[in-house]
Structure 1
């Protein structure tokens, strides 16, 4: 495939893309022309196959293939309505996968174009989830530090604080202690349990911890007994809230080591900064 042909097709796909309620879309009629289909009925057969693939993937077709009518000129200023379909990037990817790449170079290009773009979106989504989890973990650390500062002024030492946290975990995880959960999730003995918990559980622990901090001050609680009971009650309340929504914290699978996630994000950040600097340097040269 010649470089000029690739550049031409790339521009066509980029130019055909439009925004519909914040979602990137392509018109099926325009895509038909770009992909080299002379007749709508032939291209519609490919779309039908793509919709079946969408269903088999467990996706709602209406979220990716939105049918609508538009007016087109038929000569002498007259117009008539024609069927069209607004296609998401994922829909275009499925259409390309169901097209005949052996006879149409445009299809072969589209398969690569939309596969790469879809993959980029997946990478972005994964990064956002990673950032959310790291942020939640940092927030939990801050909440625990805040709680420790509050209760140390109320007759609780380091050993008692560790016991209070463990009792809280036991309440949150349905009777399973911190060590029980570390064993179940195969967490190294020298690492905090929270470093291997999914975002939802981290946020649950954080909410219970914040409640305890608030109530210790609000109720003027003092000593191991009162504060331990408060922390247990708060974790039980959070557990009930999760259970009411069909979630059992102890049954959620472990997540990737948070330290690995942090290192990956830091590495990505350096790469992004490097690319930004490169773009800035190129722009300066152009000027």
Structure 2
């Protein structure tokens, strides 16, 4: 059987890899390893399984969850006689496809095309996802500023008046959420400088956890009409611990283990330059 060339399977208007792309009911894209093997000219699927195994290893080594990108399924395929039989297949994410073409036979012309296509498309996706993450961080950080003011007011009504006492109050919230770490401990754990604010270097996941802590602590103080510094501190720590327990039950990453990200002030400065807005006053945590 003659070997396929790019001219045979590629279209000047649409990539062959786009033609085999599938979409599930939720609108998420994926590729079938069976389709992918054919496109990459692997006549024996067993040889292609070795490529998938290498790609899985590369995925693990990159710090990604393999199950997020490689899903083992059984699907029905039609035989030449018209009959159908079950075959083992792997549903692949775009990132998984990228890893596969990086580990496939480089002598195949179509593999070289695939390496270029998925490198470009993966980069585009990364840029899109980063833009979404940046927007989430900006929104959540602003929410944190607003709710920290409300939390401070609730704490003041409970008897936490002096700045030193409020710092202790905040530490109790952090200790609950961060498994006993104070603000200073978080700085050390994440290698932040003393001048750097913790919240400015959080990703959206960590910011969301802290926002939930702040809103629920404020509500608890007001709802239960808590008075006294000791009781307020205890309530804040209890709320933080409850949020931590929820994260654990859901299988999430503990906040102290989440990565440090670039200061949000750079994103805010970029936005101010584009819109001409005047800088807002920064509310300290």
1:232 and 2:233 correspond: no
1:70 and 2:72 correspond: no
1:195 and 2:210 correspond: no
8 Å CA contact 1:50, 1:94 repeated in 2 = no
1:106 and 2:110 correspond: yes
Matching residue of 1:281: none
User: Paired residue for 1:210, among 210, 215, 218?
Assistant: 215
Structure 1 pair 209–64 and aligned structure 2 pair: CA distance change class (3 A): closer
Structure 1 pair 108–150 and aligned structure 2 pair: CA distance change class (3 A): same
Matching residue of 2:55: 54
1:79 and 2:79 correspond: no
More helix by share: 1
Paired residues for 1:87-236 under 5 Å: 87-88=91-92, 89-102=94-107, 104-153=108-157, 156-157=160-161, 159=163, 160-197=165-202, 199-236=204-241
TM-score (norm 1): 0.66
Structure 1 pair 96–264 and aligned structure 2 pair: CA distance change class (3 A): farther
Distance in 1 (alpha carbons) for counterparts of 2:77 and 2:187: 59
8 Å CA contact 1:173, 1:249 repeated in 2 = yes
**Matched positions, count:** 259
Residue 255 of structure 1 and its aligned partner are, at CA, apart by: 0.9
TM-score (norm 2): 0.66
Corresponding residue SS for 2:239: helix
Q: CA RMSD for the aligned pairs?
A: 4.3
Corresponding residue SS for 2:193: coil
- Of structures 1 and 2, the larger Rg is shown by 1
8 Å CA contact 2:206, 2:258 repeated in 1 = no
Residue 113 of structure 1 and its aligned partner are, at CA, apart by: 0.9
Distance in 2 (alpha carbons) for counterparts of 1:266 and 1:79: 60
Structure 1 pair 29–257 and aligned structure 2 pair: CA distance change class (3 A): closer
